[in-house]
Chain A
Amino acid sequence: MSFGDGFLRFPDLFPGRRGGEPWGERSLVLDVAGGPYRVAGLAAAQEEAVRRKFDGLCRAAGTAAAVAIQVFRAPAADFLERDVRGWEYMLDMEHSRSSVLLAGMRLMARLDWAPGLTGGLWTCEAAGEEWASIFENYFRVLAAYRLLGAGGAVLHSAGVSDGTSAWLLLGPSGAGKSTSSRLCLERGASVLSDDLNAVLPAAGAPRLVRLPFAGDLGGPPGGPPSYPLKAVLRLVKGTEDRLRPISPAAALAGLVAAAPFVNHDPWRHEALLGTLERLARSVPAYELVFSLGGGLWDILRAIPA
């Protein structure tokens, strides 16, 4: 299947550049890792929905931004209707050196580097939760690319903290990110997110940064922005609690597998490997076998600096 075939009625007419008819003249600035991000071209109802979803992260429209996102109208007839029952939704993406194209449920979008990153989003959704979800789906991708450009990464992971340091828990779907997060939460930890977290380089240890893309768990946006990362842990469900050091190569492999969107982009693989290799070399990594017995949080906190 060619790019866009699953979502778009006319994939050949995919916008060739960031242009079109904006929904309106409203704009806002989102203060999220890698940003701030300015979102312009919004209708009033779209702005209101984004503000509701990202409450606490919205800044005045005049705030200086690092990335500009423009939103445009697209006719509903441009998009295919899909039966989504029992279906795992994945955006369709096409990569090149200077741009990334995205197609999805009622959305077409671009990321362009010229040389700075800019974004364009075309949708037929004018308001409400449906629009806000479309925007978030796009924003997750854009943030992943933006953070990679800044020497960091978005990682499919759970992030837990004791208020001073943070631990990054990795594993594929079903490995126990939400379960382990819940176990830590019950013992007094805070959970940044059990779905997506960001890691950014910093003097000393890299920092684990909260993203406004919590899964089932995770604090509201606007909490403590970041913590020094103490360790990376590869999760394995078991009947006991056990910690075993793993090699930097094994850690790197786990990190690459956990880097959504960009790990499918051949044009960014060198950058991704370089960024995550630095992370794997700078933070201790372990395999953490954990049970439902509740000893996990104590094991994490006992990991030496």
Chain B
Amino acid sequence: MPRAIELDQLWKFYGDYPALRNLTLSVAEGSCCALLGRNGAGKTTLLRIIAGLSPFQRGTVRVFGLSPRNENARRQAGFLGHGIGVYEDLSAEENLDFFARIAGLPSPRTIASTWLDRVGLARVASMPVRQFSRGMRQRLALARTFLHSPNILLLDEPFTALDDRAIAMLSELLIEARARGATLLISTHQIREALAISSHVALIENGRLRYAGERTPEMLDDPALLYRLHTELGAA
């Protein structure tokens, strides 16, 4: 199966500290890979490198065979980090219209309206984001991430601090993305939720890849199994 993401012997240092150590991983096109690991394991760093947001010192990174900073690679990617990535002083409609324009989509205003409907923000489309509740902001961030129908989704702890409505919306969007063949790489602490939607699992500990493979039914039954079998802390 063709590879959407290929990492080969990747090293990333913050000063002298190696945040990622000789990490080799490939994610097949159309798969959903749950990126697991404890705080500080290197999940966010890895996602930022794949999104082209962070330089690395050694190794290679390929997104659809291209450098992560390549414009064609970025055009196909959707990244949702810890921040919602929308402007407080613009309205929801202006935010989506802006991101649709820079993504080069035809009729950005129509796309913005469609997504505002989709995430239930049509009624407050012209209201500045600074007046939004937390849940409304999260839904707007989801619309911003998904509006250009990316072929690869890089989501950094997307379920964290979401309200129930946003969780339902995100789950629906993820299922839809998988159905149209998009590749998903999701870092999360919510192991059970992540395993339920993923086809593959990658486990990182202290910047090292401890496990990468298909998600098995045993993992669903016992989500802590991976940690017990493949991490030093789990073994101890």
Q: Are A and B bound to each other?
A: no
Q: What residues of chain B have their CB less than 8 Å away from a CB belonging to chain A? A: none
Q: What residues of chain A have their CB less than 8 Å away from a CB belonging to chain B? A: none
